[in-house]
Amino acid sequence: MKKLSKMFIALSFVGALLAGCGSGNNAAPAAPAQSEKPAAQPADANQGSSEKPAEVSSEPVTAVGSTALQPLVEQAAKDFMAKNAGAQIQVQGGGSGTGLSQVASGAATIGNSDIFAEEKKGIPANELVDHKVAVVGMAAVVNPKITVDNLTKQQLIDIFTGKITNWKDVGGEDQKITLVNRPKSSGTRATFHTFALDGNEEAEGITEDSSGTVRKIIAETPGAIGYLALSYLNDTVKPLKLDGVEANGENIATNKYPVWAYEHMYTKGEATGTAKAFLEYIMSEETQKTTITQLGFLPITEMKVERTADGKVNQK
């Protein structure tokens, strides 16, 4: 009996090993097949004029990257596949950096990102085509027990750089401030760093990557302050006004509230086939008005200003 069970364990181990190898082998040829596609795209784009409607094929489209954008793309992909039988869209997270590098190397059809490709070192931004699909605002968020509900930009900077360490210095109760930060590579941190802190270096604090965990920590830790995309807000945490301006769609659309970022979906070369149809679907009036608004994002169509990769804001 003992021998038999040992044999069984050994066999199942070998089986698992082989299965692992098998999947590895399967994955390998898939990647080059996809990477050939973008090379063919520019030629197509030049020949056929862009008037031709995008055709949906059964060729799988992969959209990889930003976890902030992921829920939106997932929902849109679900709706899109329900409407177009045979279309296959796979959505994965992994972070903005992963999205950008995967689409640049051709491993993914669409790369989702919270930041401009130009902002990330090591990405050939001129090879990528930017599709801005939505806008998301970010707000400084505090534990609901904190009585402060407005901070000036200077106060916010002083808090995050560690100059102010007690809530009583900004009109709250006598309580220590706990910073909840994102990792240095995070896209959300980059946006907050640039537009809320004016590029000032943050002090060390608790660091967590997933927005859900950050929200949980802020909700449970007395005196905690952090930042979240508006799509992640709920009753357990309290967003702060910045210079008296509330973080809402109206104020973001006019750039009165400056802490926001585009949600980008990059393709390598012009999008074709299913990917093009999918991007058109996301940009359609219908998706922008319903799905995007419901999930806490701001439709790109409602923006009254435009922002370039180097942060310059122009009226539309």
Give the residue, chosen from 183, 198, 286, 306, that forms a contact with another protein under the rule CB under 8 A.
183
Task: Kindly determine how many residues on this chain lie close enough to bind another protein according to the rule CB under 8 A.
Answer: 35
14 touches another protein (CB under 8 A): yes
Distance from C-alpha of 198 to C-alpha of 190, rounded to nearest angstrom:
11
Whether residue 187 contacts residue 115, with contact meaning beta carbons closer than 8 Å, is answered with yes
Give the residue, chosen from 41, 62, 70, 98, that forms a contact with another protein under the rule CB under 8 A.
98
Give the residue, chosen from 35, 166, 205, 251, that forms a contact with another protein under the rule CB under 8 A.
205
**Least CB distance from residue 247 to another protein, whole Å?**
23
DSSP string, the chain: -HHHHHHHHHHHHHHHHHHHHHHHHHHHHHHHHHHHHHHHHHHHHHHS-TTSPPPP-SS-EEEEE-TTTHHHHHHHHHHHHHHSTT--EEEEEE-HHHHHHHHHHTSSSEEEESS-GGGSTT--GGGEE--EEEEEEEEEEE-TT----EE-HHHHHHHHTTS--BGGGGTS-S-B-EEEE--TT-HHHHHHHHHTSTTPPPPP-EE--SHHHHHHHHHHSTTEEEEEEGGG--TTSEEPEETTB--SHHHHHTTSS--EEEEEEEEESS--HHHHHHHHHHHSHHHIIIIIHHTT-EEGGG-SEEE-TTS-EEE-
Site string for another protein, 32-61 (x = CB under 8 A): ------------------------------
Give the residue, chosen from 23, 25, 154, 213, that forms a contact with another protein under the rule CB under 8 A.
213
Site string for another protein, 137-166 (x = CB under 8 A): ------------------------------
Give the residue, chosen from 94, 129, 148, 169, that forms a contact with another protein under the rule CB under 8 A.
94
Nearer to another protein, 96 or 287 (CB): 96
Nearer to another protein, 52 or 176 (CB): 176
207 touches another protein (CB under 8 A): yes
**Least CB distance from residue 296 to another protein, whole Å?**
21
Nearer to another protein, 83 or 184 (CB): 184
**Least CB distance from residue 273 to another protein, whole Å?**
27
111 touches another protein (CB under 8 A): no
Q: Is 251 exposed, middle or buried (0-12, 13-18, 19+ CB in 10 A)?
A: middle
Nearer to another protein, 184 or 289 (CB): 184
221 touches another protein (CB under 8 A): yes
Listed residue (108, 110, 38, 37) closest to 73, CA to CA: 110
Give the residue, chosen from 174, 204, 285, 310, that forms a contact with another protein under the rule CB under 8 A.
204
Q: Which stretch binds another protein (CB under 8 A): 54-62, 127-135, 142-150, 210-218?
A: 210-218
**Least CB distance from residue 159 to another protein, whole Å?**
16
Chain positions contacting another protein, by CB under 8 A: 14, 17, 21, 93-98, 100-101, 105, 120-123, 178, 183-187, 201, 204-209, 213, 216-217, 220-222
